Amino acid sequence: MSCFFRLFASPGKMDGISEIEQIVRERTEQHECNSRVDGSVGAENASTNGHGRSHDNNEEGHGSVPDKSSALKKRQCVLVELVSTEESYVQDLNDIVNGYMTEINNPNSDIPMPEGLKGGKMKLVFNNIKDIYEWHRDYFLRALRNCQKSPADLGPLIKRSAPKFSLYYTYCSNKPLSEYIVSDNNDYFDSIRQKLGHRMCLSDLIIKPVQRITKYELLIKEIIKATEGAGLYKEVPMLQEAYQQMKVVVKAVNDMMVVLRSLQDFEGEITAQGNLLMQGPMSCVVDAGQKQRELQMFLFQQIIIFADIEKAKNQYSSPTYKYRSHIQLNHMQMKELGDCRFQIKSTDPNKIPEVTMICKAATQESYAGWRDMLNKILQQQNDLIFMLSNPLSTKNK
């Protein structure tokens, strides 16, 4: 385990940099930089139009025709980059699915698989990347090409695609583990690379999905600025919504990676608990008569996990949490106690002993956030029970 930690905890990591940002910074897509369209503007200076002037100061009626023309050209340039890098990305995914995975699953392969990779470990390496590849190849790439002709369609496209981006939550959930497995079996995978005649090694390929979702966020931001610079303000709200959607995707992926890296001794399958909705520390009393202690709470769509804080996050390493107990949300009661406190109780007849937690938030804002989210979950459960119990009444509404 110590070898695994050394491999994925960067000693020079700065506080505030997310797990996903750290990975992307360390493993930059060099070939994408080289294929950037001549004259396009990088994310780091996307706020200028190439002439040292900011689009943020452009207002309708005040931008000159050359400025608007320049902004339109810039937007088209970024759209070209979006499509060209998507084509490269789909090719990279193809190299994984129809290259490595095909060779690995070939019963007549002349490259013997190491014993340590048998028995399901290969699934941890590739996860659901085949599903990601097929969606991008068959739908998303084609749709992006159409957006080159009709840029106003980009915002609605991203919004429609939001459910499919959840594929990345599953893929990235075991990213540190998959990289460790590939690194630990480097000779085997490199033999396959040489046989396939690929330039890029597998460890560089399997990081592509993590890098790609951050790329969408940056390019959409550039397109928004260019759209504003061109005075096409009617298109901006949908693009802003698309940008916010991609921020949510990146944050959700990062949060899941943090939990999987930091939570120890949980025997269930974290990725089977749905998206991570909230997390944070709370002062908790575990059952009556026990002393108050600070626990880390992880609220997923199906479960809430309570963990002891073994090591807090610092400038050089991620936090470490040790699993303590959990409550299934479909067997949960909540009671507000006042003074930023609420009680959560398990009603699961199969869970013995019964779990009861009295939780106190540090601030009113934090308390309100947890209270509102838990009440929303309970209300959704009550609505579902009512619909199942009264199908005719629900149908007639």
The domain segmentation of the chain, as residue ranges, is: 2-261, 269-392
The whole-angstrom separation of Cα 175 and Cα 170 is 9
Q: What is the pLDDT of residue 46?
A: 38
Q: What is the pLDDT of residue 7?
A: 37
- Tell me the pLDDT band of 384, cut-offs 50, 70 and 90: confident
Residue with tokens 């339109």: 72
The whole-angstrom separation of Cα 287 and Cα 298 is 19
Query: Measured on CA atoms in the order 362, 366, 372, 374, is the torsion positive or negative?
Result: negative
- Tell me the pLDDT band of 44, cut-offs 50, 70 and 90: very low
Contact criterion met (CB below 8 Å) for 132 and 93: yes
Residue 154 has pLDDT above 80, yes or no: yes
Position 321, amino acid? Y
Q: What is the pLDDT of residue 303?
A: 92
Name the architecture of domain 2-261.
Up-down Bundle (1.20)
Strand partners, 311: 320
Range with the lowest mean pLDDT among 46-50, 171-175, 255-259? 46-50
Q: What is the pLDDT of residue 391?
A: 66
Strand partners, 345: 333, 356
Listing DSSP states for 371-385 in one string gives: HHHHHHHHHHHHHHH
269-392 and 2-261 share a CATH fold:
no
Q: What is the pLDDT of residue 66?
A: 65
Looking at domain 269-392, its CATH class is mainly beta
